[in-house]
């Protein structure tokens, strides 16, 4: 199927999940994760109505930015970000989804020319293979960023386990939602924390039911090359 057809199906599923959860579909944005496809596929996504593009490598981000910068698209860096590559990413990323340590925050603060919208990455499941802060580390970490003028914590992000266990997935997403509410309730100017980046191709409907405001969808939307 075409990217436009895929997006229609995804939006229908998001609408159904929002209806089930008593939410408005307008609260959920789809990030097209284009790391496995070329710029033509990314252009198809934008033509179909996508307004958010996600990349996990600096080189991929720059490539998609150069191809789509005139199309009113927001660019999201969704991969693990090494401190030494911050200077490569910052000119092109509207959002960074993987802030998870003070050394990275310091590098962003040093290099950014204007405030950067950041998601703090939380390892809700506690899996050793996943990056991110633990649940108990998250609030103190965000509090420690109050003096960083170039960092705005717009929300939290997590990667759920790769599993078909719906109850486990739901539990992970629900815990992140509760944590997001805790941070939001602090009323910190540097961390409004209204957003939740969670849910991918295999679990985005559950994530939406549990409060996701950004879902990161790759293969179900644009497929893979090769």
Please report the pLDDT score of residue 128 as a whole number: 86
Please report the pLDDT score of residue 100 as a whole number: 97
What is 3-222's CATH topology?
A: TIM Barrel (3.20.20)
Segments of the chain scoring below 50 in pLDDT: 226
| Range 150-176 burial, b when 16+ CB lie within 10 A, else e | bbbbbbbbbbbeeeeeeeebbebbebb
Please report the pLDDT score of residue 50 as a whole number: 97
What tens digit of pLDDT does each residue of 124-164 get? 998 888 899 999 999 999 999 999 999 999 999 999 999 99
Please report the pLDDT score of residue 225 as a whole number: 63
Please report the pLDDT score of residue 177 as a whole number: 98
């Amino acid at each position: 199927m075409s990217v436009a057809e895929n997006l229609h199906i995804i939006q229908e599923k998001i609408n159904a999940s929002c209806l089930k959860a008593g939410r408005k579909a307008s609260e959920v944005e789809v990030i097209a994760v284009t790391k496995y496809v070329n710029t033509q596929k990314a252009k198809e996504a934008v033509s179909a109505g996508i307004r958010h593009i996600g990349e996990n490598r600096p080189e991929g981000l720059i490539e998609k930015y150069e191809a789509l910068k005139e199309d009113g698209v927001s660019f999201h860096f969704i991969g693990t970000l090494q401190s030494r590559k911050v200077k490569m990413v910052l000119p092109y990323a509207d959002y960074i989804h993987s802030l998870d340590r003070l050394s990275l925050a310091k590098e962003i603060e040093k290099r950014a020319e204007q405030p950067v919208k950041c998601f703090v990455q939380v390892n809700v499941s506690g899996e050793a293979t996943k990056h991110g802060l633990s649940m108990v580390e998250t609030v103190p970490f965000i509090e420690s960023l109050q003096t960083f003028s170039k960092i705005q914590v717009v929300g939290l992000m997590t990667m759920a386990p790769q599993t078909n266990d719906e109850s486990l997935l739901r539990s992970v997403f629900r815990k992140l939602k509760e944590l997001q509410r805790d941070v939001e309730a602090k009323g910190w100017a540097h961390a409004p924390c209204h957003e939740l980046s969670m849910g991918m191709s295999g679990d985005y409907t559950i994530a939406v039911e549990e409060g996701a405001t950004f879902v990161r969808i790759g293969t179900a939307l644009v497929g893979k090359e090769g």
